[in-house]
Amino acid sequence: MVSFGKMLRYALCIMACFNYLISSSQGIKDSLFLIPEVEVSGSGIFQKESAGTKTTTVDSVILLEKINVSISSVLAENTSVFIKDYGRGAMATASFRGTAPSHTQVTWNGLGINSPMLGMVDFSLIPVYVVDDMSLQHGAASIASQSGGLGGLINIENRVNWKNRFSGRYFQGAGSFHTFDEFGQVNVGNSKWQSKTRAYHNYSKNNYEFLNKHILPEPELQRNENAEFGKYGFVQEVYFKPLIQLQTSAKIWYQNAQRSIPTVTSDESDDESKTKLNQQTDQTLKAVIHADYYSDNYTVRGFTGFDVQNLAYINGYTINDVENLNTNSGSEMQNFYNSVEVELRIYEKLLIKSGVKLNRFDISSHDSVTKLGYGAVRNEQSAFVGAYQEIGSRVQLSVNLRQDIVDKRVTPLICGIGLNYRPLAERNLLFKGSFARNFRNPSLNDMYWQPGGNENLKPEKGYTWETGMYYSAGKEACKMETELTGYHSTINNWIIWLPGLQGYWMPQNLERVVSKGIEFMLKTSWRWNKTQLYVTGNYAFTHTTSQGEMLNTEDISQGKQLPFIPRHSGNLFATIENRGFYITFQHNSYSERSLLYTNDATHTLYPYHLNHASFGKRWKWNRFTFDAELKVNNLFDEFYRSILNRFMPGRHYSAMIKVTF
């Protein structure tokens, strides 16, 4: 296997060659870059490519306001996605519509970045610094991008501004618990080429105080020890237009993240002679090259890239500087991606898309203490075709078909069909509905992890019905949009890890899990003289239950809500600005959640309601814009837990200075 250092040097060589091509071609006469016209009827929601499905775009206002956090916070606070958060700086996983974290697919500029071992993404490791655009494809909408998204897909993109000549921004922040954030970006280019360079660093000692109610007979005020975390990284993007119809780009993202994992609050040991070790290091390197060719009747898009993920974890203690380790494990994942897609515009109202993907995953896992581990290689091929038809001016139809081959084994056909109907041509009122069949293979850990892997696991199969309504109204000074979606999903052979009789956890298949619910979104903006108001809110009702045969005689979960999934969740974000002064407010609510798959009523997490507020002033000097902001997190000092043994911090503060030019 190729080492991480060699992969980094290889990626930097790619960027160096790409920059050389650009610099040697600057003498090409500037010309207008033509992109084929796209017919937009009413609002942008009425698009035949997404007929019948739900796609959510996170507003740039929110991304800018939350630029110094991870995207787990953005998703939890501003979308209907539920984030299972293990604490500040700790793992955070995403769940669409009551499904498992492994049912959420994530892409970065087209690359699938889910861990092939875990099948999921730790969203605490993705800072908003590296994001220009973020969109969510709910349920059946993900089929057009890739398979496996039984819940949905999150797409992270970096974008180019061809009008840019020289610009940049710098952010510096500090907060409670010895928290520091720093980010810088420089953009330079012309109408032929563009370069964007970003670098960031953040660190937190994370030593907040909390009341440990697990200590008996009386709760005890404790400090969150051995919980520091930090990460640093850079992103380099280069864009080049050698021809009017041809656009190419190369992007690299490197990151190193380190964190200590605190002892669970139920641990009452007081042996001060021991220094506990519980640390994890994540290194990632992602690189991708894109080439897009535009013509009057067709478009060809292609990319190739890789994603290298290295993880190291140790657990144990030291006595007199001598390490005694229970675990000293590491894993290396090298993922390679290739994709080609063609769009054919048969005539004005019919679009055909087709494409192929070739992916390879090469992983190795080992533990020097237990001497356990495994290595595996997985090859995946995928072929896709989609047809999108507009019938008259009020009806749109989409059909998507996808066929995967995993290690020479053909999987069941993945398909989806959707319909848009706009009853009033002069109004932005839209009714939609869709049906989809999806499929997901077990992750490599599900099959081969030692001990506990189960090579006899069945792949998961999902069926989803969805219907909804979208409406928008207003003009520039006052606008409103709202969307209501109902869904019903059945997932057969749902994979869940449970304690086994051998003393360790093992994955098993639940015969059938049913997830159904409602998603509601409301967004409004208002402008009067020099005052601007923006408000957006989401509510989700989620009912996910096991409906198949019981796993054993002790399993009483049938027909009850699955663990860690709240029935009710909602959020509200509001910002108001006048003459450069602004105030933002964020609210989140979650209903109670069960802790165990048995769904015993005594094992639940209580509901909690979080509120954050920030106050700032923005002003300009020459070409510079300055922004000073103070934020109060957990405004009302809520006492809460996201998971069982992790009490979260009370009221705390952060301040940030932003400079853009």
Residue 407 has pLDDT above 80, yes or no: yes
With a threshold of 0.85, does the pTM exceed it? Answer: yes
| Three-state DSSP state, 538 | strand
Taking all residues of the chain, what is their mean pLDDT, rounded to a whole number?
87
pLDDT greater than 90 at residue 174: yes
Q: What is the mean pLDDT of residues 591-616?
A: 80
* pLDDT of residue 130 exceeding 90: yes
Query: What percent of the chain is modeled with pLDDT above 90?
Result: 69
Residue 202 pLDDT level (bands cut at 50, 70, 90) = very high
pLDDT band at 531 (very low <50, low <70, confident <90, very high): very high
Other CB atoms within a 10 A radius of the CB of residue 569 amount to 22
C-alpha span between 41 and 36 (Å, rounded): 16
At 6-50, the pLDDT tens digits run 555 544 454 444 444 444 444 333 333 333 333 333 345 678 888
Per-residue pLDDT at 230 exceeds 80: yes
What is the three-class DSSP state of 480?
strand
CA dihedral 240, 244, 246, 252 (to 10 degrees): 20
Which is the CATH superfamily of the domain at 4-660?
Answer: TonB-dependent receptor, beta-barrel domain (2.40.170.20)
Of these ranges, 217-226, 262-271, 331-340, 504-513, the one predicted with the greatest mean pLDDT is 331-340
**What pLDDT does 8 receive?**
52
Report d(CA 586, CA 584) in Å as an integer: 7
Length of the chain equals 661
Which residues are CB-contacts of 628 (< 8 A; sequence separation ≥ 6)?
616, 617, 655, 656, 657, 658
What's the pLDDT tens digit per position in 131-149? 999 999 998 889 989 999 9
Q: How far apart are CA 631 and CA 651, in angstroms?
A: 11
Backbone torsions φ then ψ of 60, nearest 5 degrees: -60, -30
What pLDDT is stored for residue 269 in this prediction? 52
Q: What is the pLDDT of residue 596?
A: 65
Confidence band, pLDDT 50/70/90 cuts, at residue 584: very high
**Confidence band of 598 (pLDDT split at 50, 70, 90):** low
Region of poorest pLDDT, from 437-446, 496-505, 616-625, 646-655: 496-505
pLDDT, tens digit, 9 for 90 and up, residues 275-291 = 678 899 999 999 999 99
Q: What residues contact residue 529 under an 8 Å CB cut-off, 6+ apart?
A: none
What is the chain's alpha carbon radius of gyration, rounded to the nearest angstrom? 25
Kindly report, residue by residue over 310-320, the tens digit of the pLDDT. Answer: 999 999 888 87
Output the pLDDT for position 43: 42
Question: What is the rounded distance in angstroms from the CA atom of residue 475 to the CA atom of residue 239?
Answer: 35
The pLDDT of residue 317 is 83
From its phi and psi, is residue 145 left (phi > 0), alpha (psi between -120 and 50) or beta? alpha
Residue from 565, 585, 544 nearest 642 by CA: 565
For residue 53, give the H/E element and its range.
none
pLDDT tens by residue, 64-114? 889 989 999 999 999 999 998 888 888 999 999 999 999 999 999 999 999
Encoding tokens for residue 432?
Answer: 């939609």
Query: How many Cβ atoms sit within 10 Å of the Cβ of residue 273?
Result: 8
Kindly report the number of other CB atoms within 10 A of residue 451's CB atom.
Answer: 12
For residue 550, is pLDDT > 70? no
597 exposed, middle or buried (CB, 10 Å; 0-12, 13-18, 19+)?
buried
Q: Dihedral sign, CA of 84, 86, 88, 89?
A: negative
Lowest mean pLDDT among 183-197, 560-574, 625-639: 560-574
What beta strand segments (E) does 446-602 contain? Answer: 460-475, 478-499, 505-528, 531-546, 568-578, 581-590, 593-594
At 63, which helix (H) or strand (E)? helix 60-65
